[in-house]
Chains A and B, each alone.
Chain A
Amino acid sequence: AQSVTQLGSHVSVSEGALVLLRCNYSSSVPPYLFWYVQYPNQGLQLLLKYTTGATLVKGINGFEAEFKKSETSFHLTKPSAHMSDAAEYFCAVTRRSNNNDMRFGAGTRLTVKP
């Protein structure tokens, strides 16, 4: 089965600084990869996804992620953090053939300091 590892349960950055949230996956078949964001007391919202095609994917709120097969990674970045980016972020993976087996990482809580 596939799995996801998110490095760092808490990440703190200053407003305006680069945001880098790390995600490594394990999958024996070509994966679909996702980043979700969860704001306090809310459900998960899709930030971006990689299915096929271009390996650099852009999402909402200025976030992007790059699928690197050789490194089995799908790190999330944003050039300049905003206070409103403070939330918990989840990386997820599923097999292309069957999305009922989506596996989530443990999450990374992003704090943005003024």
Chain B
Amino acid sequence: DADVTQTPRNRITKTGKRIMLECSQTKGHDRMYWYRQDPGLGLRLIYYSFDVKDINKGEISDGYSVSRQAQAKFSLSLESAIPNQTALYFCATSDRLSIETQYFGPGTRLLVL
């Protein structure tokens, strides 16, 4: 579903580097989320945002930061990447009128060496 896009789709970086993953949506949703997926662990919530001025930590926010530049854009940053941040990262959105249903982007596969 091209309504939620993520860039880059794949990224290799080195320990200690700062990187940013970007998410854009054309669905007009006000709520956006960042998850990471690890084999055998499912998806875990990193950060979520209910609007541009409302950002909240999720289950596993340590080592990450986010920026909601506009309603349609939500970026995830790793200030100093470490190998255990190697994972598949997903952005998701939901609408305030149907908040229980989230729409996911295609994911960004990140490898930290």
Contact = CB atoms under 8 A, between A and B. Distances in A.
Q: Which of A9, A36, A44, A94 neighbours the largest number of chain B CB atoms within 10 Å of its CB?
A: A44
Contacts of B4: 43
A9 B39 CA distance: 10
Task: Kindly list the 3 A-B residue pairs having the minimum CB-CB distance in the complex, ordered from nearest.
Answer: A43-B104, A104-B42, A104-B43
Nearest to A96: B100
B90 A100 contact: no
Q: What is the predominant secondary structure among interface residues of chain B facing chain A?
A: strand
Q: How large is the interface on A (under 10, 10 to 19, 20 to 34, 35 or more residues)?
A: 20 to 34
Contacts of A4: 42
B106 A43 contact: yes
A44 B45 contact: no
Contacts of A51: 100
Interface in B17-60: 31, 33, 40-45, 48, 50, 56, 58
A2 to B, nearest CB: 12
Contacts of B58: 100
A101 B45 contact: yes
Nearest to B105: A43
Given A43-B1, A45-B1, A90 B43 contact: yes
B90 to A, nearest CB: 6
Interface in A79-114: 90, 92, 94, 96, 99-102, 104-107
Contact of B101 (A46, A100, A101, A104): A46
B42 A32 contact: no
Contact of B102 (A41, A102, A107): A102
Contacts of A104: 42-44
Nearest to B40: A106
A42 B106 contact: yes
A44 B94 CA distance: 13
Contacts of A32: 100
A92 to B, nearest CB: 8
